[in-house]
Chain A
Amino acid sequence: MSSETKQILTTDGIPLEVSLKKAERRNKIKAFLLVAPLLLFLIITYVFPIGDMLLRSVDDKMVTEMLPKTFKAMEKWDGKELPEEEVFEAFYLDFRQLVDDKREGKLSTQLNYTKNGFKSIIKKLRRKSKNFEEGNYKEQIMAVHKRWADVEYWKAIKRRAPAITGQKYLKGMDMYKNESGEIVSVEEDRRIHRILWLRTLEIAFFVTLFCFLMAYPIAHLLATLPMKYSNLLMICVLLPFWTSLLVRTASWMILLQQQGVVNDFFVGIGLVADDARPEMMYNKTGTYVAMTQILLPFMVLPLYSVMKTISPSLMRAGKSLGGTPIVAFWKVYFPLTIPGIGAGCLLCFILAIGYYITPALVGGASGTLISNQIAFHMKSTLDWSFASAMGLMLLSGVLVIYWLYNKIVGIDNIKLG
């Protein structure tokens, strides 16, 4: 049939179908070329570096590169009894090289992560190894300290042979691989990271909750007031939104200090005694108060833009059908605001979970979050691979939240202002 129907041709004699497809493809390429510069820029400067973080977080080449001969010799070692002379010889040669390059300190730090007790015996080995005679290195090394004759320490070295490791991720969860390769938790009193993760979640959750409880009434007021009043009140929301984060944090530092304005006020009205001013900063209270105020506009704006679209006649209809104002609110108004609640809570929670500046300034020791720990490892300990691992753990958490949100509410209606 189709072969019999005459094809429609354009003026150039090309079938219309082909010509249209061609035009379509040209349009696609045109649209893509417009996006391409930004896309390429972001892929190079942003997406790849995040991939780079992934590589860094599992990277464990440091020890592998410091002891190349040792690990080669260890390939034949079964890892049960003490290794043979050739392993000791290779280790001695690697070690001499490290001492010459003055890098043996790094080795001792790295090995000490794997097993406690390497620091002192490496120091001792450095001193003694200067006077080593050629040959029979096994006995000479074992004579330096009894731990060098302990097979557990050699096993610990062998564990560092692979160039890829997941140990940074385990460390981020306060776990490690013990001698027999099982994954176990560190002792109760050293579980700092778990405390931080839980605290981050807790603070993000409560800050979101406080923001919601405070934002809902004022968003409702803004959406129902006549335009000329609501525009004025809107400034109270937008001015903090546009003001520098550091300025807002600074003002909270002034307010919450022990000699600060809030405490002065409390003393002034006789709520607390002058010598018993409560500490409201450098702890969790400070973090809660400051973060709630800073993130509040992010909750108000989505709620407001949703509430603005709800017709007031719906509430009147609910009431005229016999509902009390509470029932009308709960059954009619509230369900309609759920998209706004979802967007606001998502925004607040995700911003709060990655917060860094405010907790670092007003949080003190008990109010810091996981971001502060990441920054600490980036800037102070320079353990970049650990910082990367924790960053990626945080990122995957954020992505899971997005995914859940998208499943439950749908992501397509996030608007700015």
Chain B
Amino acid sequence: MALPKHTELHYRIWHYFYLTICGAVFFFLIAPLFVIFPLSFNAEEFLSFSDGMKSLDPDAFSLRWYKDMIYGTKNPWGLAAKNSFIIAIFATIGSVLLGTVAALGLSSRHMPYKGIIMAILISPMIVPLIISGVAIFFFMAKAGLAATHTGIVLAHIILGTPFVVITVTATLSGFDHSVTRAAASLGSNPVNTFMKITLPLILPGVISGGLFAFVTSFDEVVVVLFLAGLENTTIPIQMWTGLREQLSPTILAVATCLIILSTLILVTAELLRRRSERLRGINR
């Protein structure tokens, strides 16, 4: 944003002041994430930059915490990672199936009681997590599903569906319904129409809803803390215990891996968003 030459001095000052503030806020947002990265390669057990690290001495850096993460004795991370992925994948599949089908119904103009039903469907996103946690725990305890993978998957489906419902209804709002009618008039049955016409068109919305659901499940700790037993430990639970008891650099190694994962998810989500924006642009 270059200023025109004739800009008066005090506007010039104001403009640079504004840019400085913006720079500071961006720094505040992103810098904490980048502190983790170098510290996870620390050769020592402290969580601050050693003198060797400051002078970029190669001996001050090591992979020992990554080794500890993977091979460490009585290591919880392997099991936690396995559980986290299994739970997140099943929760995502469940959320996407239930959420997409519900979104199709919701965006039909024949849908009765749309307001109240929408409110119920997205309520898990609005209600504070701690309350959802308590309520879901009561249900799972009664149903005998506490401390089981099934219970946690169901809980995460509850928390993940609102995101799918919202993203898919948003995609469907720009959807031209005459194409499905065209398909129907050409003799296609509803299932076939959905698979061949509707789904490919709303796929970006479905996938980005699925990404939200995946991240929600993969990241979720409040509800899992109530539900999980020793066997169901997940990465967030291990991080939570680790952060509460002692901050070991191994956690930073795990955190670095998680940041890389979230970068990948961010890139996918952004590409999808742009694609769907392009598609909707053509539709209009």
Q: Does B78 contact A (CB under 8 A)?
A: no
Chain B residues with CB below 8 A from A217, complex form: 18, 21-22, 25
Q: Does B16 contact A (CB under 8 A)?
A: no
- Are A218 and B25 interface neighbours, CB within 8 A? yes
A388 CA / B135 CA spacing, docked (Å): 8
Q: A50-B135, A260-B47 are in contact. Are A38 and B126 (CB under 8 A)?
A: no
Chain B residues with CB below 8 A from A215, complex form: 25
Q: A217-B21, A416-B212 are in contact. Are A250 and B36 (CB under 8 A)?
A: yes
A188 CA / B131 CA spacing, docked (Å): 29
The smallest beta-carbon distance between A139 and chain B, in angstroms, is 46
Q: Does A35 contact B (CB under 8 A)?
A: yes
* Size bracket, chain A contacts: 35 or more
A 239-276 to B, binary, CB cutoff 8 A, 1 in contact else 0: 11111111111111111010111001000000000000
26 A-B residue contacts at CB 8 Å?
A: A28-B110, A28-B111, A30-B105, A30-B108, A31-B106, A38-B121, A46-B136, A47-B123, A236-B29, A244-B219, A247-B33, A247-B239, A247-B255, A250-B36, A251-B36, A253-B243, A254-B35, A255-B35, A260-B47, A264-B49, A325-B11, A375-B130, A378-B226, A384-B134, A394-B128, A395-B127
- Are B32 and A255 interface neighbours, CB within 8 A? yes
Query: Which of B47, B105, B262, B265 has a CB less than 8 Å from the CB of A31?
Result: B105
Chain B residues with CB below 8 A from A107, complex form: none
A85 CA / B132 CA spacing, docked (Å): 49
Q: A31-B110, A293-B28 are in contact. Are A356 and B121 (CB under 8 A)?
A: no
- Are B138 and A354 interface neighbours, CB within 8 A? no
Residues of A near any B CB (own CB < 8 A) = 24, 27-28, 30-39, 41-50, 52-53, 56, 214-215, 217-218, 221, 224-225, 233, 235-255, 257, 259-261, 264, 293, 296-297, 325, 350, 353-354, 356-357, 360-361, 371, 374-375, 378-379, 384, 387-388, 391-392, 394-395, 398, 402, 415-417
The smallest beta-carbon distance between A154 and chain B, in angstroms, is 35
- Are A52 and B139 interface neighbours, CB within 8 A? yes
Chain A residues with CB below 8 A from B199, complex form: none
- Are A243 and B243 interface neighbours, CB within 8 A? no
Q: Does B251 contact A (CB under 8 A)?
A: yes
> Nearest A residue to B108 by beta-carbon distance?
A31
B 44-75 to A, binary, CB cutoff 8 A, 1 in contact else 0: 00111100000000000000000000000000
Q: A247-B36, A361-B244 are in contact. Are A28 and B112 (CB under 8 A)?
A: yes
The smallest beta-carbon distance between A68 and chain B, in angstroms, is 25
Q: Does B258 contact A (CB under 8 A)?
A: yes
> Nearest B residue to A241 by beta-carbon distance?
B266
- Are B128 and A43 interface neighbours, CB within 8 A? no
7 closest cross-chain pairs (CB), A and B: A354-B128, A34-B105, A35-B105, A49-B135, A31-B108, A27-B110, A38-B102
Chain A residues with CB below 8 A from B255, complex form: 244, 246-247, 250-251
Q: Does B259 contact A (CB under 8 A)?
A: yes
Chain A residues with CB below 8 A from B101, complex form: 34-35, 37-38
Query: Which of A46, A243, A416 has a CB less than 8 Å from the CB of B132?
Result: A46
> Nearest B residue to A397 by beta-carbon distance?
B128
Q: Does B158 contact A (CB under 8 A)?
A: yes
For the complex, count residues of B whose C-beta is within 8 A of A. 86
A214 CA / B79 CA spacing, docked (Å): 40
- What number of residue pairs across chains A and B have CB atoms under 8 A from each other? 264
Chain B residues with CB below 8 A from A244, complex form: 218-219, 236, 239, 255, 258, 262
Query: Which of B19, B22, B121, B130 has a CB less than 8 Å from the CB of A354?
Result: B130
A245 CA / B99 CA spacing, docked (Å): 24
Query: Which of A46, A52, A354 has a CB less than 8 Å from the CB of B158?
Result: A46
A68 CA / B266 CA spacing, docked (Å): 61
Query: Which of B32, B131, B219 has a CB less than 8 Å from the CB of A394?
Result: B131
The smallest beta-carbon distance between B213 and chain A, in angstroms, is 12
- Are B48 and A260 interface neighbours, CB within 8 A? yes
Q: Does B104 contact A (CB under 8 A)?
A: yes
B 109-149 to A, binary, CB cutoff 8 A, 1 in contact else 0: 01110000100110110111111111111110000000000
Chain A residues with CB below 8 A from B46, complex form: 259
Query: Which of A31, A38, A50, A248 has a CB less than 8 Å from the CB of B111?
Result: A31
- Are B39 and A250 interface neighbours, CB within 8 A? no
Q: Does B207 contact A (CB under 8 A)?
A: no
- Are B99 and A38 interface neighbours, CB within 8 A? yes
- Are B243 and A250 interface neighbours, CB within 8 A? yes
- Are A261 and B48 interface neighbours, CB within 8 A? yes
Chain A residues with CB below 8 A from B30, complex form: 236, 239-240
- Are A46 and B130 interface neighbours, CB within 8 A? no
Q: A24-B110, A38-B99, A214-B28 are in contact. Are A253 and B247 (CB under 8 A)?
A: yes
Query: Which of B221, B262, B263 has a CB less than 8 Å from the CB of A357?
Result: B221
> Nearest A residue to B32 by beta-carbon distance?
A251
A175 CA / B77 CA spacing, docked (Å): 46
Query: Which of A36, A53, A214, A249 has a CB less than 8 Å from the CB of B243?
Result: A249
The smallest beta-carbon distance between B53 and chain A, in angstroms, is 11
- Are B25 and A354 interface neighbours, CB within 8 A? no
Q: Does B215 contact A (CB under 8 A)?
A: yes
Q: Does B1 contact A (CB under 8 A)?
A: yes
A335 CA / B135 CA spacing, docked (Å): 40
A246 CA / B22 CA spacing, docked (Å): 26
Q: A38-B99, A248-B33, A250-B239 are in contact. Are A243 and B259 (CB under 8 A)?
A: yes
A93 CA / B273 CA spacing, docked (Å): 71
Query: Which of A41, A247, A357, A394 has a CB less than 8 Å from the CB of B98?
Result: A41
Chain A residues with CB below 8 A from B18, complex form: 217, 221
